Chains A and B, each alone.
Chain A
Amino acid sequence: MIHNGDFQRPAGPLLSVTGLRVRFPTRPEECVRAVDRVDLAIACGEHVALIGESGCGKTVLGLAVMGLLPVNAKTRGEIRFRDCDLRAMDEPALQRIRGKEIAMVMQNSANSLNPVMKVGRQIAEPLRVHNILPATEAQDEAVRLLAAMGFADPAQAAERYPHEFSGGMRERILVAIALSARPDLVIADEPTSGLDAVVKAQILRLIKDQMAERTLLLITHDLGTAGYLCNRLVVMYAGEIVEEGPTDELLAMPRHPYTQGLLASLPSSGFHPIPGMSPSAADLPAGCRFFPRCCCVKEQCRQNHPPLIPIGHNRKVRCHRYD
């Protein structure tokens, strides 16, 4: 890794993804390029958001870090967590890391809990699977976590089944499961999808409190959520990173036309959608992947694929306008 000056922690990043590509073969001679040459480094304690619309590869990236991609996925590149090369690890070694070192808050809170297992046991499960605590103490820990998640009667809640809870409560239970083995890195995939604004705000505050001393990789399409929880934003489009930078700078002055479009499409700035649709990951345009929808296309945008160029000391953008 390149260390730039005194700002870099001596240990290096907690998670570093280098040149990651994930492809799904569909027909012979054809494949879906879900993630394409992504470099991403997350330092200890950093909160990073991966932003993009549905199908841009952000969830696939999260699953790739967890080693949970479907078997037909073709992966290349490097994923390092601390000193371990996750891609070189075998399944039992990955199982020792999942849930204990890297945890994931799954998308889809409605179906991510086992319907026939009491929630207390589900929250205690990571502790049992990794043999961290004996059963009774794991159960006590689950009750403590439920209390931390704002459940009024945590001991009673632990004895209930998932269907007895509302969507917001289930989401909090999922966060509790992810946090129970005290992982260093939490990957949260759309933690507030499908929740109403009030519940969403409660859960975001809860996540923010719980994440104070942890590292977070948030996967979302919602700039508001990302801006609230994270100090660095990474914008993905059609499988690649198009822009990244500190949250306040990036939101104040977006550089990439796609990020500008995303901001303009927010209700608060007038609901102006980006024209067109994002390209199919099986049939990407030759030059810049955004040019068919871009407001300011130049001739080279149609031919040359732009590199991710650094602007200033902490921002990067993938656009020919900044060559």
Chain B
Amino acid sequence: MNRRVVLWISIAVLCIYIGIALAAPLIAPSGPTAITGKPLEPPGAGHLFGTNDVGQDIFAQLVFGARITLLFGFFSASLSVLISTSVGIAIGYYGGIVDEVVSRAIDVFMPIPVFPLLIVLTTFFSPGIIQISILMGVLGSIHGIRIIRSQVLSVAQTYFVEGARAIGASDVHIMSRHILPNVMPLVMAKFVSSSQHLLVMGVGLSFIGIWDTTTVDWGTMIQNAYSSGGMALGLWWWILPPGIAVVGISLALAMIGYSFEEQFNPRVGVNRL
């Protein structure tokens, strides 16, 4: 299929998800925790996706769960990109001993898998969603720092940065007005791929019950269904909706990320998008 069509479909899917999350109280006025029916009702007229073991509407949970899941993904991705962009630009531009120390620290942290590290770290900290998303933002920024730093290194050597210094521009001015716009495409691509990555990781964390299990998000929905025997009893309407929702958003973000990368990475053909 044409890449451009895939990109626009993905953007449309993303917009639908965001729209649903924003309009959740309008779409499902009863709320995610209200008991609106008998337990384990299959999909039908009153309940689009049926009910769970305590009679809560699965459709309402899905709609409200989108809020937490998306917010978590985008918040931690924003934080991660903010950190990696500012640190990457600063160490790439100034270089020297700070660059050396940060780069070696990154070399040490890079091979450590983030997911198990998160599980370990969350047992030390109080496992609120905010704390975990901050933690994930910080851990997720490590890879980005390295990518953005390497791009900054090549931009900082260019003649126009020298030219900016020759007109009396300060370091802050050069970094914000000259280097940042030149690494912005990379930052955008990194943001999209990070949000996909961190969103899925967030669902994974809530599925294994790392954070507050009373919040309603797609991970805890799957976890509830799984632990209450929904899987064994073949209650597909309980498991599938959150599962498909995760796959859908993840695919959409991945496709947008690939398209961005193709667009902005000179080594991948530009006209294919």
A contact residues vs B (CB 8 Å cutoff)? 66, 68, 92, 94-100, 103-104, 106-108, 111-117, 125-126, 129-130, 174, 177, 181
Tell me the complex Cα distance, A174–B162, Å.
Answer: 13
22 contacts between A and B (CB under 8 A): A95-B169, A97-B168, A98-B166, A98-B167, A99-B167, A103-B166, A104-B163, A106-B162, A106-B166, A112-B163, A114-B163, A114-B181, A115-B182, A117-B181, A125-B164, A125-B169, A126-B168, A129-B167, A129-B169, A129-B173, A177-B163, A177-B167
Best-buried of B158, B162, B177, B182 by chain A (most CB within 10 Å)? B162
Tell me the complex Cα distance, A68–B165, Å.
Answer: 8
Q: Kindly report which residue of chain A lies nearest to residue B162, judged by CB atoms.
A: A106
Contacting pair A130 B178 (CB below 8 A): no
Contacting pair B160 A114 (CB below 8 A): yes
A189 to chain B, nearest CB (A): 10
**Interface SS majority for chain B:** helix
Number of interface residues, chain B, beta carbon within 8 A: 18
B254 to chain A, nearest CB (A): 27
Residues of A within 8 A of B181 (CB): 114, 116-117
Pick the contact of B166: A68, A113, A117 (CB < 8 A). Answer: A68
Contacting pair A111 B168 (CB below 8 A): no
Residues of A within 8 A of B164 (CB): 114, 125
Best-buried of B163, B169, B170, B184 by chain A (most CB within 10 Å)? B163
B contact residues vs A (CB 8 Å cutoff)? 158-160, 162-170, 173, 177-178, 181-182, 184
Tell me the complex Cα distance, A115–B162, Å.
Answer: 14
Pick the contact of A95: B168, B177, B182, B184 (CB < 8 A). Answer: B168
B233 to chain A, nearest CB (A): 57
Residues of B within 8 A of A97 (CB): 168
Pick the contact of A129: B158, B162, B168 (CB < 8 A). Answer: B168
Pick the contact of B159: A92, A95, A106 (CB < 8 A). Answer: A106
Residues of A within 8 A of B158 (CB): 111
Residues of A within 8 A of B165 (CB): 68, 98
